[in-house]
Amino acid sequence: LYGRGQPVSMQNLRELRKFCNEYKLKIIYDATRSSENAYFIREREKGYENTPIVEILNEMMSYSDGCIYSSKKDCLVNIGGFLATHDKDIFEATRSMVVVYEGLHTYGGMAGRDMEAVARGLREGAQYEYLKYRVNQVRYLGDLLMEASVPIVKPTGGHAVFLNALEFLPHLSRDQWPAQTLSAAIYEDSAVRSMERGAISKGRDSETGENIFPKLELVRLTIPRRVYTNTHMEYTANSIVNLYEKRESIPGLKMVYEPKYLRFFQARFEQLSL
């Protein structure tokens, strides 16, 4: 669900359920941002304009066999996650795995206070008023950037604004890592931490060992929940607009250390000369 902050429609979920029933396939959602997805269904999809978020969520989940959920997002907590299913076979299989890798299935390695926080966060994170504030704050940052003609993915989604690094830094070749370069430049200019979502994240071809250069080379500006004010959005936008105005003076990067796994977390880079 909900790729790059863009929602999946209810109609799409219905059609997916019908397709999987035909071929006897199970459906497991990544429901981490399902509440934000439900908000967009209410906002955009005909017939759901006045439907409570919880009812939309219930219908969404009815088309699945289960879901995984990172609680750090829509649950508004700092740790935890869970797997939920109404399929007995999936439950029995995963219950055994939880005991081996996490802890007893009744707590999965989580402290009682953290489970309570998740339970409360599930309810608070599904409140319409909160979701409206949340989505509109992200939209505000996107609007500020679009007013200055900064290239972003449109429309803005619910949890982040994505900068188009290929259009932002067209003078850089792909092997100079435009998205990583832009993310580093933003941090150097403003101390705002963003995330590369492009070739560094994509990695290498498992057979040839060559770098994979996807069509999209993005920088993700993810907005924490209930942390920042609109003044922080303005500060972030001002920094990025400033960089965009002098974009031709931003040099690329050279990767000088590449770990075997998760290079988008651990690789190191040096700045090239223009």
pLDDT at 1: 55
Alpha-carbon distance of 11 to 44, in angstroms, equals: 12
pTM of the model as a whole: 0.90
**Closest C-alpha among 6, 4, 2 to residue 60:** 2
Mean pLDDT of all residues in 18-27:
97
Virtual CA dihedral for 239, 245, 248, 252, nearest 10 degrees? 10
What is the rounded CA–CA span in Å between residue 187 and residue 271? 14
- What does the block give as tokens for 216? 């999209």
Answer yes or no: are the C-beta atoms of 115 and 105 closer than 8 Å.
no
pLDDT in tens, 186-224: 999 999 999 999 999 999 999 999 999 999 999 999 999
How much is the average pLDDT of 59-72? 95
State the pLDDT confidence band at 4, using cuts at 50, 70 and 90: low
pLDDT category of residue 49 using cuts at 50, 70 and 90: very high
pLDDT above 70 for 136: yes
pLDDT at 2 over 80: no
Is the CA virtual torsion 261, 265, 266, 268 positive or negative? positive
Classify 264 as helix, strand or coil: helix
State mean pLDDT over 68-94. 91
How high does pLDDT run on average in the chain?
Answer: 94
Q: What share of the chain is helix, strand, coil (3-state, %, to 5)?
A: 45, 15, 40
- In what order do the strands lie in the sheet containing 160-164? 160-164, 218-222, 195-197
Indicate the pairing of strand 195-197 with strand 218-222: antiparallel
Other CB atoms within 10 Å distance of the CB of residue 68: 15
What pLDDT digit, counting tens, does each position of 162-178 carry? Answer: 999 999 999 999 999 99
Using a pLDDT cut of 70, give the percent of the chain over it: 99
pLDDT at residue 106, rounded to an integer: 85
Using pLDDT thresholds of 50, 70 and 90, give the confidence band for residue 3: low
Q: Does the pLDDT of residue 267 top 60, yes or no?
A: yes
Q: What is the mean pLDDT of residues 41-61?
A: 97
pLDDT (average), residues 105-128: 92
Read off the pLDDT of residues 211-257 as tens digits, 9 standing for 90 and up: 999 999 999 999 998 889 999 999 999 999 999 999 999 999 999 99
**Mean pLDDT on 73-80:** 90
Domains and CATH numbers, the chain: 10-124 (3.40.640.10), 137-271 (3.90.1150.10)
